[in-house]
Each structure stands twice: as C-alpha cells, then as structure tokens.
C-alpha cells in the first residue's frame, strides 16, 4: 500500500469514528479482520478482542452508541508499507454517565488489499491530566 493510501485510510478510520458512523467504520475492515482494544478504566484493565466483521461490527456498534468523541487531535502518524500507527487524543464522553475524560490513544493498523486486517487500539483515560500533574510536581519539586 502506498504511503498516501495508508495515511488516507488512517484518517478515514478516525473521521468515521468521530462521526460515529458504524457502517463507514465497518467498511474499512477486511471481512476476516481483527480488532483489539486494550486499556484501563478506573484503574481496571480492559481488553476487547473481535475476529471477523460481525464481531467487529458488534464491538464498534457498542463504542459508537456509548461514547462520543470531540476535541480530536492527531499527535503523530507513522507508516511502514502495509502497517501504520497513529497517536491521538480526544475528549471521550460517555452517553450513559455523561462523564468526559481526556484520553490518549494509539492505533496500530495492518492492512491487506487496502482494508484493515488488524487494528489494535491502546487507550489511557486521563493521560493528559496525569502528565500535567507529573510535570507540575516535577517542576515545583524542591
């Protein structure tokens, strides 16, 4: 896959996620694709694994229905042939609790024939706040 095509795929993945468009998201995945989401919530580890487009659709549907993303910022993008990664941050609001959390995420994507074969997403809620607190502590330390 050409660099420009991979960049366009990563940007479309995020645009569809921000828009909350499930069909648009699912169209990016290979029918035998895999989705893995790894992170923490309230200090508890979370891991989601889906294989095949039907399982992926189920999990992405849950994400789209439950969380609204805003204040999106792409921090870095790396592309190496059929693989790419994107480090990004967004405000994520739960449609259930109404809670908003600044979250940093990294997506690792492998493609086949222009579609996502494997995506692993790592997320850390409150990472921006935690980093700012650490920097403030370090800066104010005696």
What kind of architecture, by CATH, is found in domain 3-140? Roll (3.10)
Q: What is the pLDDT of residue 1?
A: 76
Question: Domain segments of the chain: what residues?
Answer: 3-140
Backbone angles phi, psi at 114, to 5 degrees: 80, 5
Q: What is the pLDDT of residue 136?
A: 43
Residue 132: is its pLDDT beyond 50? no
Q: What is the pLDDT of residue 41?
A: 78
DSSP per-residue string spanning 28-59? TEEEEEEEEEEEEETTEEEEEEEESHHHHHHH
C-alpha to C-alpha distances, 125 to 64, 93, 101, nearest whole angstrom: 17, 11, 6
Give me the chain's average pLDDT, please: 89
Backbone angles phi, psi at 24, to 5 degrees: -65, -40
Question: Exposed, middle or buried, 48 (CB in 10 Å: 0-12/13-18/19+)?
Answer: middle
- pLDDT tens track for 60-79: 999 999 999 999 999 999 99
Q: What is the pLDDT of residue 127?
A: 57
pLDDT bin (cut points 50, 70, 90) of residue 134 is very low
Residue 117: is its pLDDT beyond 90? yes
pTM of the model: 0.85
Higher-confidence position of 30 and 128: 30
């Amino acid at each position: 896959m050409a660099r420009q095509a991979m960049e366009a795929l990563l940007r479309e993945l995020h645009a569809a996620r921000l828009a909350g468009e499930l069909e648009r998201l699912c169209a990016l995945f290979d029918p035998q694709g895999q989705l893995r989401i790894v992170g923490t919530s309230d200090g508890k580890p979370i891991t989601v694994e889906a294989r095949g487009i039907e399982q992926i659709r189920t999990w992405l549907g849950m994400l789209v229905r439950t969380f609204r993303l805003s204040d999106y910022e792409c921090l870095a993008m790396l592309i190496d042939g059929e693989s790419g990664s994107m480090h990004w941050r967004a405000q994520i609001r739960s449609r259930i609790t109404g809670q908003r959390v600044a979250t940093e995420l990294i997506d690792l994507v492998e493609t086949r024939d222009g579609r996502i074969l494997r995506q692993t997403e790592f997320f850390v809620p409150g990472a921006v706040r935690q980093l700012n607190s650490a920097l403030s502590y370090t800066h104010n330390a005696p």
